[in-house]
Each structure stands twice: as structure tokens, then as C-alpha cells.
Amino acid sequence: MVFLSVLTPVLAVILCLVIGFMLLKPREAASMSTGKPASKSENFRPWVDQDLQDDTEITAREDEVGDWMDSSEEDLPHVPYSQKRYSEEMMLQRSQDFYTLMNDRRSVRFISPDPVPREVINNVIRTAGTSPSGAHTEPWTFIVVSDPEMKHQIRLIVEEEEEVNYRHRMGEKWVHDLAKLRTNWIKEYLDVAPFLVLIFKQTHGILPNGKKKTHYYNEISVSISCGILLAALQNAGLVTVTTTPLNCGPQLRLLLRRPANEKLLMLLPVGYPASDATVPDLKRKPLDDIMVYI
């Protein structure tokens, strides 16, 4: 009895230690998975572009306001604005002609090596720069690459990542589906097109005092600017294919020596269509499927 009563506190301490250890263990595991949301939890999406993902929701949507105008813009004096007013017949004709022109646009992966005048590209980029942007931050940088060696470096980076994406990240289903794909990780157009336009979004700016300046809605703004860029290319008789290279952003940013506040959003190879270019025979939705009138 005396022996037992001496042993009891020892047993109690051991019991406490065991219980404590059991309770601590899952808590550590929980806090670890909280700290690293990209670990093998249900949120694990290895094929998601980590570079695009890491800022859009965090940087772009702080302090934002609805109408894309901030006080710095409003401090400016206002000036009268007028615009050429066309007759109704003229408006109809112009809107019809512009629709016809834009409806001829297609994503073309077969691009001619024929040279394109650089001044045309300058005008197209100038046009993209007329896009509206949140608080008039103009958060875009257009890198225009014509140097053959640089184009090839870009191709190597894009193809390597695309192959990794397809082979390893997409899983078995994707590898199977791949057999059907004529478009795979070989991107010949990155060498062949006379120009590659890489469009970076500036997730924030730097104020004169060195502090960060939030760029409201930077991804939406730069995407709108890309829409205007696509219209300008089509208007000039040039073609491109809209691509968002997965997980290449950081490597391409370093290759092109862009600062850390710039993230690659899109890569557009630009040129004339190849003489034997083909496109998938797809249709666009009719107006009634995309518009509701109230």
C-alpha cells in the first residue's frame, strides 16, 4: 500500500505527460497547415499559377473604391469634354463595321516570320495605354521582344514549364487527354513571331517617399488594356494568340529584368498569320445567348 502510494504521483506525472503530448501533437499539425495553405490539404492546387495568385486578392483589392477615381485624380482641375457626334445612320454603320472587323479576329497559333514595322507596334502599344485603370494608376508594362536570342530564351522557359504542367501537375487524366491535343508544350511561334509582347501588371507602385502605392484593380485594368490591344492589333491586320504562361512569371520577370512589383499577366506573339495558318472551326454564341435586355 505504501509502495503504491509512492508510485501513484509518478504514474500521474507520466499520465499527464502522455495526455499533454497527445493534445499538443494535432495542434502543431493544425498550425503548420494554417501557416502553409499550399501544403497537401484540400486547397492544394499545384497547377495554379502561383505567381499570379500571390497578389491579386491581397494587393489589388485593398482600400479600393467603386468608381476607379481617387482623390489625387479629383484634385486635378476639370476641363470640358466633347466628342464627335455621329448621325444615327453613321453610328449604326460604324458599329456594324467595327463588329465585322473584330468578328474576323481569331486566336492564331501559326504566325508568319515576315517582319512587321516597329512603328505599327508602337502605335498598338500606345493604344493599349489609353485604357482606363483603377484610380488612373496605368499599372501596365509592355515588354516588346524582337531579339531572336531573347525570344528563344523565353521559349525555353515557357516550354519547360508547360511540359511540367502537362506531364506532372495535370495528373493522369490530363496526360490521357493530352493525346488528343494538337496544341501541347511545343510553342514554335515563340521563335517565329517577329514580336513577342509580354504584358506585366504592376501590383503596386512606389511613392516618392519609398512607400507602396496600392494599385486598385490592377489585374482587371491590365486585362481591359489587353482587350484594347487585341482590337488595335486586329485593326492593323496583325494576329496573336492570348496566352497566360503558367508559373513562368518569376523566371520571365528575372530574364527580362523587371522589378518585383511587376507580375506577368499575358504573353502575346504578334505577326501576320502564316500562309498555311488554320484555326479550330468554332462558333461564337449568338447575341441572345450573351445579352439580356431589360
Positions in 155-214 near its own copies (CB under 8 A): 158, 161-162, 165-166, 170, 174, 177, 180-183, 187
Evaluate whether 165 touches 47 at the Cβ level (below 8 Å).
yes
Report the nearest approach of its own copies to the CB of residue 2 (Å). Answer: 7
Give residues 1-60 in contact with its own copies (rule: CB under 8 A): 1-2, 4-5, 8-9, 11-13, 15-16, 19-20, 23-24, 26-27, 30-31, 34, 45, 47-49, 52-53, 56-57
Give residues 64-93 in contact with its own copies (rule: CB under 8 A): 64-69, 71, 73-86, 88, 91-92
Binder to its own copies among 157, 190, 193, 239 (CB under 8 A)?
A: 239
DSSP, collapsed to helix, strand or coil, labels residue 204 as strand
Binder to its own copies among 39, 44, 167, 237 (CB under 8 A)?
A: 237
Q: In what helix (H) or strand (E) does residue 7 lie, and over which residues does it extend?
A: helix 2-35
Report the nearest approach of its own copies to the CB of residue 5 (Å). Answer: 3
| φ/ψ (deg, to 5) at 62 | -90, 140
Report the nearest approach of its own copies to the CB of residue 15 (Å). Answer: 6
Give residues 95-134 in contact with its own copies (rule: CB under 8 A): 95-96, 98-99, 102-110, 117-120, 122-127, 129-132
Report the nearest approach of its own copies to the CB of residue 181 (Å). Answer: 5
Strands 212-214 and 140-145: unpaired
Binder to its own copies among 160, 191, 235, 250 (CB under 8 A)?
A: 235
Q: Binding mask 132-151 vs its own copies (x if CB under 8 A, - otherwise)?
A: x---x-x-xxxxxxxx--x-
Distance between first and last Cα of the chain:
90
| Residue 94 or 212 having the CB closest to its own copies | 94
Distance of CA 195 to CAs 29, 136, 198, 270, Å? Answer: 50, 28, 10, 5
Binder to its own copies among 42, 172, 209, 294 (CB under 8 A)?
A: 294
Report the nearest approach of its own copies to the CB of residue 29 (Å). Answer: 10
Cα 73 from Cα 164, distance rounded (Å): 45
Q: Residue 179: how many CA atoms within 13 Å on its side-chain side? A: 4
Give residues 246-265 in contact with its own copies (rule: CB under 8 A): 246, 248, 256, 265
Report the nearest approach of its own copies to the CB of residue 210 (Å). Answer: 20
In 3D space, the residue among 93, 104, 113 whose CA is nearest the CA of residue 230 turns out to be 104
Calculate helix-pair angle for 218-235, 50-59, nearest 10 degrees. 120
Residue 214 pairs in a beta bridge with 204
In 3D space, the residue among 149, 98, 102, 142 whose CA is nearest the CA of residue 121 turns out to be 142
Interface with its own copies (CB under 8 A), residue total 152
Report the nearest approach of its own copies to the CB of residue 110 (Å). Answer: 8
Binder to its own copies among 38, 156, 164, 223 (CB under 8 A)?
A: 223
Evaluate whether 128 touches 140 at the Cβ level (below 8 Å).
yes
Specify burial of residue 144 (Cβ count, 10 A radius: 0-12, 13-18, 19+): middle
CB neighbours (10 Å) of residue 59? 20
| Residue 210 or 285 having the CB closest to its own copies | 285
